[in-house]
Amino acid sequence: MKPPSLANAELAVMELLWQEGQLTARQVREQLYPNSTRAQHGTVQRLLQRLEDKGCVRRDRGQAVNLFSAVLSRRAYAGQQLEALAAKLTAGSIAPLITHLVEENKISHDEIEQIRAILDEQDEGERS
């Protein structure tokens, strides 16, 4: 599945929904544009509609006010973006990306240990 392309403003909305769970359009506007005017409300409505059209956001119409929540998880989106980046830059291989991050000290010792544990689990699963 091709990852949805998200503009920076759409990604900012998704970040809020990933953090908060459910928000109204007004709550999104207040957090994105704390000193906003009514003009930004239309902008937020359009962003939420585009995200809904892309299948990233769900609108709950069961209340007096619509509640929006993320359908696409941060982890799934990040994974799709990494795979797309690998396909574009390294012929689909994730290894050069990880190698670069390790060599440039962009991955902490704890994160390396987490990766090791995941790889060990994979190894054990393949052996059984």
Q: pLDDT digit of tens for each residue in the chain (128 aa)?
A: 566 889 999 999 999 999 999 999 999 999 998 887 777 888 899 999 999 999 999 999 988 899 999 999 999 999 999 888 899 999 988 888 888 988 998 988 899 899 899 999 988 877 76
Within 8 A by CB and 6+ apart from 67, the residues are 22, 23, 24, 59, 60
pTM above 0.75, yes or no: yes
Q: What are phi and psi of 73, to 5 degrees?
A: -80, 155
How far apart are the C-alpha atoms of 10 and 83, rounded to whole Å? Answer: 20
- Give phi and psi for 54, each to the nearest 5: -80, -5
Distance CA 71, CA 52 (A): 9
> Are the C-beta atoms of 68 and 25 separated by less than 8 Å?
yes
